[in-house]
Amino acid sequence: MCHDPDSRPPAPPVVADLDSTGPLELTAEDGNVLAAYEAIPFGEPRARVVLLPDVRGLHPYYRALAERFAEAGLQAVAIDYFGRTAGSAERAEDFPYREHVDQTTPEGIRDDVAAAVARLREQGASAVFTVGFCFGGRHSWLAAADQDGLAGAVGFYGRPAEPAERAGELKAPILALQAGADPNISAEDNAAFEQALESAGVEHELVSYEGAPHSFFDRKQEEFAAASDDAWSRVLTFLESHS
């Protein structure tokens, strides 16, 4: 698990009021119906983002995160991964997500992300980004290869090996925000990812927060509030500069 069950995202620099929030269902190209959650700010959004959760899928953390993005002036759609194996109904805290993670496929996640991208483009988006966390961080970077016309891909503490292997296929700028004390992602892993991006000519920025644990982007992690604040700043700057 990436976050504790009661973890919630830190607040962004608030620049907008919420216009609307709520659940929705999306239909992927293969007919899969997936749960999603959308948050829209008042006025024209500064940009639009697809949020890719960690292994828990559409956990309350990611519904709250969609609202935090909307408070920063961005339209956000957070998606679930488990429509094919668990349906689209809301789930209890004890949902056995691990057995469903094991049944996901790259093709299924690609199609589900595409459904969320299409939702945002139908509403007039000229620039759509992906922002993912852990499992979703890796798939956010991979979306830069798999989704046509993506404006950029942001990943928090994602495993970089597969995106590094596919660096030559990445068609959008990359922002990687890594945890310096992550026990499963080493400094060497991050360096290899950065070198692969450099060699492939992919515009990128990789930041590793010294001493920060995996899933530091959490308002409960008060000792890493500075890292969270910096991460918010970098994400918003990245979205603004590539919109």
3 tagged catalytic = no
Pairing mode, strands 18-27 and 33-41: antiparallel
* Helix, strand or coil, per DSSP, at residue 22: strand
Nearest to 204, CA basis, from 160, 75, 109, 94: 160
Torsion (CA) 225, 97, 102, 8 in degrees, nearest 10: -10
Active site residue 30: no
- Selected catalytic residue, list 134, 139, 146, 204: 134
**Residue (of 190, 201, 129, 131) closest to 160 by Cα position:** 190
Catalytic residue (choose from 80, 111, 182, 218):
182
Main-chain phi, psi angles of 18, to 5 degrees:
-80, 135
Is residue 194 within 8 Å of 206, Cβ to Cβ? yes
The yes-or-no answer on residue 134 being catalytic is: yes
* 4 closest CA partner among 64, 80, 51, 61: 61
Determine the angle formed by the axes of helices 106-122 and 135-146, rounding to 10 degrees: 70
Alpha carbon dihedral 218, 222, 225, 226, in 10-degree steps, equals -150
Catalytic (active-site) positions: 134, 182, 214
